[in-house]
Structure 1
């Protein structure tokens, strides 16, 4: 379970590296972006290659997830800072 996000990033990077040349995109660039940014890069790639509905769904869900994660970090920092 510890390596789940790493495995997902690797799978996304492999998919983007294989699919990018079919759409005249640079395979190595999209593979690196997919490995670093994961589902966000996948959503943007799908938008750029014409699969806009799925791309926007992935991008919006990932964006909302990032916002919730940052909110929880700020809330936790305020809670811990208030206890001192």
Structure 2
């Protein structure tokens, strides 16, 4: 089973907690922000991996005052989508 299918299934299960019933990302739309713990559970990684992605700039994270770190759910899901391997002829 592809990781993207697993992520979609997990996102459906977590939708009441993370608000996936909201429209997808578009210009001018406020993102759906989730905690590092929820982000890690959503993609099956450790919270330390999520923090590492924030530190290296692969994932944007932010804090308001001294509150917990938050990440944009849609950006996280885009980050973990599998990349198709190209064939020697260049086709995907």
TM-score (norm 2): 0.29
Instruction: From the CA coordinates, give the structure whose radius of gyration is larger.
Output: 1
- If asked which structure has higher relative contact order (CA below 8 Å, sep 6+), I would say 2
Larger proportion of helix: 1
TM-score scaled to structure 1, two decimals? Answer: 0.30
